[in-house]
Amino acid sequence: MTGLDRNSVRRTAVLAGAALIVGLLPLASAGTAAAADPDPVPVDRFEGEVPFASQPAEGLFTWGGDADDPPELTLAERSDAPEGAKVLAGDYDISGYGGFTHDYAADQPGHDWSAHKGIRFWWDGQDNGKKTAFEIKDGGANGEASELWTTSFTDDFTGWKQIEIPFGDFTYRTDYQPVGGIDQVLGLTQMWGYAVTLPVGAPGRFAMDDVELYGKADQSLRASVTTDAAVYPVKEGGTASVKVSVATTGSAPIDEPVTVAYESAGGTAESGKDYTPVKGEITFPAGTESGASRTVRVPTLRDRTAEAAETVPLKLTVTGAKAPAETPQVVIDAHGLPYLDAKLPVKKRVADLLSRMSLAEKAGQMTQAERGAIGAGGDIAAYDLGSLLSGGGSTPTPNTPAAWAKMIDGYQLRAQATRFQIPLIYGVDAVHGHNNLAGATVMPHNIGIGATRDPALAERTGAVTAAEVRATGVPWDFAPCLCVTRDERWGRSYESFGEDPALVESMETVVQGLQGDRSGRDLKDDDRVLATAKHFVGDGGTAYGSSTTGSYTVDQGVTKVGRQELEAVHLAPFQEAVDRGVGTVMPSYSSLDLGDGQGPVKMHARADMINGVLKDRMGFDGFVISDWNAIDQLPGDYAAHVRTSVNAGVDMMMVPYGYKEFSATLIDEAKAGRVTDRRIDDAVARILAQKFRLGLFEKPYADTGGASAIGSTAHRAVARQAAAESQVLLKNAGSVLPLKKSQKVYVAGSNADDIGNQTGGWTITWQGSSGNITPGTTILQGMRKAGGDVTYSKDASASTAGYDVGVVVVGETPYAEGVGDVGNGNDLELTAADKAAVDKVCAAMKCAVLIVSGRPQLIGDRLGDVDALVASWLPGTEGDGVADVLYGRRAFTGQLPVTWPKSESQLPINVGDTSYDPQFPYGWGLTTLTNVPGGGTASLRALALVAAAAERAGAGTVARTAVTKARLLVQQKIGTAVTAASAKPFADADHLLLTGHYADAVAKLTQAYRAG
Residues with a known catalytic role? 627, 817
CB atoms within 10 A of CB 32: 6
CA-based R_g, the chain, Å: 32
Largest CA distance in the chain: 107
- Euclidean distance between CA atoms 28 and 38, whole angstroms: 17
Helix (DSSP H) and strand (DSSP E) numbers for the chain: 26, 37
Cβ contacts of 843 within 8 Å, gap of 6 or more: 865
Query: Nearest CA to 696 among 472, 389, 470, 425?
Result: 425
Burial 389-411 (b: 16+ CB within 10 A, else e): bbbbbbbbbebbbebbbbbbebb
- Nearest-angstrom CA–CA distance, 989 and 991: 5
Residue 376 to residue 374: CA distance in whole angstroms? 6
Pairing label, strands 728-732, 868-873: antiparallel
CB 303 within 8 A of CB 273: yes
Measured in residues, the chain has a length of 1012
> Under a CB-based contact definition with an 8 Å cutoff, are residues 656 and 676 in contact?
no
β-strands 387-390, 367-370 pairing: parallel
Cis preceding-peptide flag for 908 (omega within 30 of 0): yes
Cis ω before 480 (30° cut-off from 0): yes
For residue 37, the 8-state DSSP code is S
| Contact partners, residue 36, CB within 8 Å, separation at least 6 | 216
Across the beta sheet with 476-477, the strand order is: 476-477, 425-428, 387-390, 367-370, 653-654
Q: How far, in Å, CA of 933 to CA of 961, rounded?
A: 12
Of 581, 569, 450, whose CA–CA distance to 519 is shortest? 581
Phi, psi of 508 (to 5 degrees): -75, 5
Are 236 and 311 in contact by the 8 Å Cβ rule? The answer is no
Question: 929-942 b/e with 16+ CB inside 10 Å = b?
Answer: eeeebeeeeeebeb
Sequence-separated contacts (24+) of 974-981 with Cβ below 8 Å:
974/1008, 974/1009, 974/1012, 975/731, 975/733, 976/731, 976/733, 976/863, 977/1012, 978/918, 978/919, 978/920, 978/921, 978/924, 979/917, 979/1011, 979/1012, 980/915, 980/916, 980/917, 981/1011
Whether 108 and 121 have beta carbons less than 8 Å apart is answered as no
The closest of 250, 238, 61, 93 to 167, measured between CA atoms, is 250
β-bridge mates for residue 426, sequence order: 388
Q: For residue 727, which of 887, 964, 500, 496 has the smallest C-alpha distance?
A: 887
| CB crowding 568-588: b at 16 or more within 10 Å, else e | ebbbbbbbbbbebbbbbbbbb
Dihedral (CA of 668, 669, 673, 677) sign: negative
Contacts of residue 837, defined as CB under 8 A and 6 or more positions apart, other chains included, come to 748, 749, 750, 794, 795, 796, 808, 810
